[in-house]
Structure 1
């Protein structure tokens, strides 16, 4: 038997105010769209803002449905929209923010497993990493220079 160690490197900003100005602007768009999410069941709102290589910003938020799991997360809503409308334009940066209507969320909230796999597919498709910033409603902000830091053992088409 052989043991392997997997390491991920993330950067942590103590607050929104420490972010570069362009990332603050992208995160503000993520916050604005987050507050328009349709989440009557979980009361957990998520917003995503994607900066594309052509300068376009694509937004998405979570959309719930009483028939679980028919809803869709903010990250996939945004990245699928980008893929459908800008299929050959790489995604450079993804800014994510989450908010609970039940309590104040100060913990940086990363993408769920299904969203990580979807983001990984787009990184592979574009052959370029996607920088991901994520936060709660307030507090620290985490930066990952690639989805591979959040999902180091990805499932990709090489297994098919």
Structure 2
């Protein structure tokens, strides 16, 4: 038997004001997008903003449904929209912000497993990392240079 250690590296900012201006502006758009989320069941609102290689910014927010699995997370709304509107254009960064109608969310909220897998698919498709920047409603902001920090043993097309 052997142990495998997988190092994970994140930047942690105390708040938005420590970030580079481009990243801060992208996150502020994610914050605005979460305000438009349709979340009557979970009351948990998530906004996303993607920066594409061509300079376009694509927006997303979570969209719930009474048939719960039929909804979609903010990250996937934005990623799939980018794929539909700008096929072949690389995604450089995704900013994600989450809040609750019931409490203040101060911890950085990472993408769920399904969203991680979707981000992994696009990293593989474009053969380039996607930076992931995430926060709650306020407080610390985490920044990862690639999805591999969030999903180090990724399942991808190479296994098929």
Q: How high is the TM-score relative to the length of structure 2?
A: 0.99
- Residue 111 of structure 2 is matched in structure 1 by 111
CA displacement at 1:55 relative to structure 2: 0.3
Deviations 1:35-63 (A, max 9, x none): 00000000000000000000000000000
RMSD: 0.5
Distance 2:58 2:73 in 1: 14
Distance 1:50 1:106 in 2: 22
Deviations 1:61-82 (A, max 9, x none): 0000001111000000000000
SS class of match (1:69): helix
Distance 1:68 1:94 in 2: 25
Gaps of 5+ in 1: none
Distance 1:57 1:136 in 2: 20
Query: 5 Å matches for 1:71-110?
Result: 71-110=71-110
- Residue 154 of structure 2 is matched in structure 1 by 154
Distance 2:47 2:144 in 1: 17
CA displacement at 1:141 relative to structure 2: 0.1
CA displacement at 1:3 relative to structure 2: 1.3
CA displacement at 1:7 relative to structure 2: 1.2
- Residue 139 of structure 1 is matched in structure 2 by 139
Provide the aligned length of Structure 1 versus Structure 2.
160
The runs of at least 4 aligned residues of structure 1 exceeding 4 Å deviation read none
Is 1:125 aligned to 2:125, yes or no?
A: yes
- Residue 14 of structure 1 is matched in structure 2 by 14
CA displacement at 1:91 relative to structure 2: 0.3
Distance 1:4 1:30 in 2: 36
Gaps of 5+ in 2: none
